[in-house]
Structure 1
Amino acid sequence: MAEIDRSSANVITRIARKIYHPIGFTKGYNFAFWLVYLGVFLGFTISRLQFLDFYGVFCSATAKSATSHAAPGECFYFLQKPYTIGIVLHLATILPASLLVCIQFIPVIRRKATLLHRVNGYIIIILSVLSMVGVYIIAPRTFGGGFDAQGLLGALSVTFLWALLMSYISIKRRQIEQHRAWMLRAWFWAGSIITGRLIAILVLKVLKSPPYYAMPCDKIDSMLQDRTLDLYPECLSFYSGANPQQNVVVRAEFNHPTSVVEAAAALDAVFGMAYFVAFLLHLFGVEIYLHLTSSETRHSGHVSSSKP
């Protein structure tokens, strides 16, 4: 029985090697890590390509589904200048860059198609820098635009750009291992936006006592229109013109909201915390991945350095 089990395991191992060896991997567990992360990242990117239709999908008048539209209330600002420019610039550059980076991290392309890898890398860096310009434009209004949200987006953007810069410097110095490590860090950190969404939803699902969140009346009006005063009579001063900047306290209820405003408040309230935790997880996670794939890195560096 033991011999049969070993024989079956050997067959599975041989089949697996026929899959990951041509891609450029020498270790099965390295391929597994790569496949899971790249699969999630690619799937998320493809699902967001519909957002390139900014007015028809991302900020359409009516949402076709919860995943085919911006978060509740976000388009109130995104449809105003300069935020329209910022979000369109961000989407139009980060989504193509995210697709191209999936090609960039295929080992066999890095080793066998050096010119493609190099040109693709420059395109990715240019698109990424432009996308961060868009982030800086929309940061003051994204998910409430609080200090937590702005600080988080600023930190993510700076670290992402720093990693890209270090990867560029490393390749110019022919430091192949460092170049790969910094590029992986940049995109692992960028991937925290996916994990952040999951953490935010998880926290809101298990939260037994919803918090309260201050929200401006003009944003509430964009979602409720003539129902605003019925639910938030404090907004009367906004409508009368006595206080155009009037804010009201909104119950941040995600699971059983009485209106879309409560769902929007819930997402705004947990944004900073959820994405900060996600960033920390990715910050440490990529270092673990780099340690586990160090043999792949050395092999890649040897192959690349041996080329004229």
Structure 2
Amino acid sequence: MASIVKHYFLKASQVVGYSKLYNFSLWFIFAGALLGFALARLQYLHAGTYAKGAVPGEWYYAHAGRDRVGIFLHLGTILPCAILVVFQFVPRIRQRCVIFHRTNGYIVIFLLLASNAGALMIMDHAFGGGMDVQTWVVTLVVACTLSVGMAWWNIRRLQIEQHRAWMLRTMFYMGCIITTRLILVILAVAVTRSSSPRYGVWPCGKIRFTYQQQHVSDDVDALLKQRYPDCAFTTAANLSSTFTPISASLFAEDPARNGVAFNLSFGAAAWVAFFLHLVGVEVYLRLTPREAERLRMVSYERQFAAGYKNPGSAGLVVERWGDAKAWGGQGRLPLEDSPFAR
């Protein structure tokens, strides 16, 4: 059985264009996860579906105004971006469909930058809008913007191995939201089962809106009086300015308590996921030095053909900024080893 699976895996890797099975395996796992996640989330571009599927309380701010514009700008750009970026890492497309690869790359950059704008618009309310969440959003936006900018600059300078490295970083930074979701559930369960109760604070208007949106009870006022007395007699004008503590519980029948469990856990989950992806992509880059060196020779040949003064080191390479030794591979590859002979 294992040999059959390996056989078809090898066939698939050859179709896609990978010459090494481990590279195809990593692409299949990580790009596949990103593609599957994005395809599954396309349904949330419909406002009604998003309202039903979002974490309890999120629709309170997102149903109107700036947050509505921000969330659908973010989803409407980052989901297509996540789908299209997968094709940027298919060797067969890069080799045989250069125009598509180049055009698709510019589309990915535009969509990513637009999605960053949407994320910044909603960060003060998303998952409770705590400082941990806001700083994570800003950090992720800056990291993705800088890395995709570095990727763009290096490909403009024909520094292909650096372009590959920075595009991989961009893709891994983007993908940390998937790992965040997995860790979020674990932490929300941990918060729920904590020996000491954990509390969040919501405005009464948010609780009432969430109850009504999720049809928790036919008599919302009676339920509020029972569960949150501070909100029971609050006038309509003061609903958004009157706050009440809510104990976190993922398994309670109260959607407000479910939402608080996710709100308290999201910031920690997001930072842990970002750290794992930040380290993970650097480990992968360090474990594939031969591929980086091969692509640097491709860079050398293309820069040499383009008349660059310092072929092989025209982009943002480390020796231009640090104390690394000058690159020593500035010699033509034998014809049979040249990437252009393939």
Is 1:25 matched with 2:18?
A: yes
Q: CA separation in 2, counterparts of 1:242 and 1:119?
A: 52
- Residue 94 of structure 1: aligned partner: 78
Is 1:124 matched with 2:108?
A: yes
Contact 2:10/2:21 (<8 A) preserved: yes
Flag the 1:46–1:301 CA change in 2: closer, same or farther, 3 A: farther
Contact 2:159/2:299 (<8 A) preserved: no
Is 1:57 matched with 2:49?
A: yes
Contact 1:87/1:135 (<8 A) preserved: yes
Contact 1:237/1:243 (<8 A) preserved: no
Q: CA deviation at 1:17?
A: 3.4
Please tell me the residue identity of whatever aligns with 1:271. F
Flag the 1:298–1:252 CA change in 2: closer, same or farther, 3 A: same
Q: CA deviation at 1:294?
A: 3.4
Q: CA deviation at 1:81?
A: 0.5
Flag the 1:302–1:236 CA change in 2: closer, same or farther, 3 A: same
- Return the TM-score normalized by structure 1: 0.87
CA deviations over 1:143-201 (Å, ceiling 9, x no partner): 11111111111111111111111111111111111111111101101111110110010
**CA-based RMSD:** 2.2
Q: CA separation in 2, counterparts of 1:237 and 1:228?
A: 9
Q: CA deviation at 1:298?
A: 3.8
Equivalent of 1:245, from 241, 248, 272? 241
1:1-308 maps to which residues of 2 (within 5 A)? 16-54=9-47, 56-59=48-51, 63=52, 69-207=53-191, 208-209=193-194, 210-224=197-211, 225-226=220-221, 227-236=223-232, 238-239=234-235, 241=237, 244-254=240-250, 256-303=251-298, 306=301
Q: CA separation in 2, counterparts of 1:176 and 1:139?
A: 35
CA deviations over 1:206-244 (Å, ceiling 9, x no partner): 442241111121111111242223211112464264674
Q: Work out which of the two has the higher radius of gyration on C-alpha atoms and give 1 or 2.
A: 2
Please tell me the residue identity of whatever aligns with 1:246. T
Q: CA deviation at 1:31?
A: 1.4
Q: CA deviation at 1:12?
A: 7.2
Q: CA separation in 2, counterparts of 1:213 and 1:252?
A: 7
User: 3-state DSSP class of the match of 2:252?
Assistant: coil
Please tell me the residue identity of whatever aligns with 2:49. V
Runs of at least 5 residues in structure 1 that lack an aligned partner in the other structure: 1-7, 64-68
Please tell me the residue identity of whatever aligns with 1:182. W
Q: CA separation in 2, counterparts of 1:217 and 1:37?
A: 41
User: 3-state DSSP class of the match of 2:235?
Assistant: helix
Flag the 1:100–1:142 CA change in 2: closer, same or farther, 3 A: same
User: 3-state DSSP class of the match of 1:82?
Assistant: helix
Q: CA deviation at 1:21?
A: 2.9
Q: CA deviation at 1:300?
A: 4.5
Runs of at least 5 residues in structure 2 that lack an aligned partner in the other structure: 212-219, 306-342
Q: CA separation in 1, counterparts of 2:99 and 2:83?
A: 18
Q: CA deviation at 1:258?
A: 3.6
Please tell me the residue identity of whatever aligns with 1:234. D
Q: CA deviation at 1:15?
A: 5.4
- Return the TM-score normalized by structure 2: 0.79
Q: CA deviation at 1:14?
A: 6.0
CA deviations over 1:234-286 (Å, ceiling 9, x no partner): 124642646741211111101x2140000000000011001100000000011
Q: CA separation in 2, counterparts of 1:98 and 1:195?
A: 15
